[in-house]
Structure formats: structure tokens, C-alpha cells
Amino acid sequence: MVSIKDVRRSNSRLTEKPSGMVAVFVGATSGIGLSTLKQFAKYSNAPKVYVVGRSKQSASPLLHELEVLNPKGIFIFVETEISLIKNVDAVCEEIKTNEQKLDLVFVSPGFLSVEGRKETSEGIDMYLSLSYYARLRIVHNLIPLLSASLNPRVVSILAGGKENVIDINDLELRKNYSLAKAANTAATQMTLAFEELAKSYPMISFCHVYPGLVATGIITKFTGTFKGIWAFPAMLARWTLIPVLHALATTVDEAGERGLFVATSAKYPPAEPKDPHEVGVALLDGVEVAKSSVVKGGKGNGVYRIYTDSESVENEADSILESYRLDQVDKRIGEQTLEVWKAALEKSEA
């Protein structure tokens, strides 16, 4: 376990790194993404940050706060509905037009609903889009800029280590949908997709993080969506169960501190760094390099499944992932993802 004390010590050393880091934060107007963004603004040296969200007007106080935290930083809000693939492409094109390199992509958009499958106008389930399809499209589109950085990193806050058996023949869950199935499918696809990307881009590190129970308020909002016979039990839960869960949960501030640690520490290097001396904030005494998702010939692949304590996960999901690798399910997922993206864009253009 990486203690929160060591996390904070490492984060404070980010000020010693060269100025001018360029980062993209998606889903950072609330929750863990917001907390991590504030930590990044606090400690990074004259950064340039693109904050992607739905409402620029609502984000005005946030932008002001970021500027106060780091007067030398540049903070640009990009207003869009990121669940749509066409919008992802437009945002990424804007960033690629203005930048020559990108050091960090941090994605954490979230969506919960009790209404079952809820499709975007492009025909993708909203949860699956925000948790996987749109997220991966962002990373996929920005690979050229990441490849130009000396220390590029991708961080996805979702469910690293919570991968599970999925229906390979129904990855979009059109036949049998539930929120639990959607969560399993998104988590498993994300890890396997990161592993595929790492094969072609070993100079980039990919971190898939499971933050655990964090007191972000999203569960309270989620219970507020229940209607009919479930409305009263949900209300009781908000009065009784949720306060208990919040008392046991990690604070959103600590989750943000750990988010920054994952985004900047040398604990999570790429498989083939351009410069071994430029893989993040130097490790503190007692903190070791994390174990990659797959290790072949003693060499990590630069993909990390990270638990709440900022350490790599080793659990029963390893055997599930290994069987999928052997069966080349990762390649099937890649092909299907391309098909979903293509269909979404065709629907947008129709």
C-alpha cells in the first residue's frame, strides 16, 4: 500500500518538474476527476489544461478557482456532450490543432440510471459510451500527441481489477442489459483495449484505476432517480444507509490526491520509456514500481490495474483476462469497437 502521506509527498514534488505540462481532463467537473484536477492545478508547474465538460457557464467558478490555485497555468474549458463520438472527434481535433504534444489524458466521466439501456442519439448505451466507447475514442484520437511527449500517460477512473466474464457476442448488451453487466463489460473491455494500445505504443503508460467507495455524492443522486414502488425504499436509503457508506468511504479529496499520484508518479512507467529518467516524479524510499497488467519475459507492458491503495491488483480477474488474451478476445473487442464507432458516426451524419 502507498500511504496517503507518501502520496502527498510525491505530489508536492511535482512542482520540481519542468514547466509546461499539457493535460486533458474529461469528466472533471465533479467527483474524483474534479478533485484530481484541482490537485494537478495546485502542484504542476505552469501547466496547460483542457477541461472537457457540458456547461462552460456552470464551470466558470471552477476555472476561476484553478487560476487562483495556479496563476501561471492556462485552463481552457471545452463545452460539449462527450457521450457522442462525433463530439469526441471534434474536441480532439481542436486540441490537435492547438498542441504539439500531450502529457496526460485523465478520463472519469460517469453516468448511473435505473431506467435500463438508455441510448445516445448515435445508438450507443449512455453508460457504455461514457465508461468505454467515448473514453477509448478520446485516447485513440489523442495518441499522436501523447506519442510526442517524453512522459505520456493515460488514466481512466473506472474499475481496474474488477474485470469479469462478459458476453463476447453481445458487447453492446442489446440482448440482455443490466447496469451490473454494463459495468463488467466496460471494465473488461477497457483493460483489454489498453493492453492492445500498449503493444503499438509502448512509450505510453496506461492506468485503469478502481477508486473504491468514494464519498462523491453520486450514489445519493442515483437513488434520486428511482420512481414508483422503489421511490420510498430509495428515500429511506438516502436517510439511513448512504450516511453510513459515506462515513466509511474515502473522501473525495484523498481520491483526488491518489488520482494525481497515479497520473504523475514514476511508479507507473511505460514499457519502453523514451527517457528512463523522465517517467514521472521520482519514487520515494519504500515505494516500488508497480506490476504491469501482463508481464512477459520479466518485462512489464505499461498497463496498470490499480486498486484503492494505489497498488497493482492481483486477483481472480487475472485468470479471466488471461483466457481472453489466449482466445484473442482482445482483438475481437478492438474490431467490434471500431464497428460501433463507425456506426455511431454514420448515424450522426444521417
Position 60 scores a pLDDT of: 94
Position 250 scores a pLDDT of: 76
Global pTM exceeds 0.85: yes
User: Where does 4-214+250-349 sit in CATH, by number?
Assistant: 3.40.50.720
Question: Parallel, antiparallel, or unpaired: how do β-strands 299-300 and 295-296 relate?
Answer: antiparallel
Contact in structure between 14 and 45 (CB atoms under 8 Å): yes
Position 300 scores a pLDDT of: 76
Position 140 scores a pLDDT of: 98
Look up residue 198 and give its DSSP letter: H
Domain ranges across the chain: 4-214+250-349
Position 217 scores a pLDDT of: 53
**CA atoms within a 13 Å half-sphere pointing along the CA-CB vector of 322:** 9
Would you give per-residue pLDDT tens digits along the chain (350 residues)? 999 999 999 999 999 999 999 999 999 999 999 999 999 999 999 999 999 999 999 999 999 999 999 999 999 999 999 999 999 999 999 999 999 999 999 999 977 666 788 999 999 999 999 999 999 999 999 999 999 999 999 999 999 999 999 999 999 999 999 999 999 999 999 999 999 999 999 999 999 999 988 865 554 454 444 455 444 444 444 444 444 444 445 789 999 999 999 999 999 999 999 998 889 999 999 999 999 987 665 567 999 999 999 999 988 899 999 999 999 999 999 999 999 999 999 999 97
Within the chain, residue ranges assigned H as helices are: 4-12, 31-43, 60-69, 85-98, 126-128, 134-147, 179-200, 218-223, 231-239, 241-248, 252-264, 317-326, 329-349
Position 116 scores a pLDDT of: 80
Position 314 scores a pLDDT of: 85
Q: Directed axis angle between helix 85-98 and helix 329-349, to 10°? A: 90
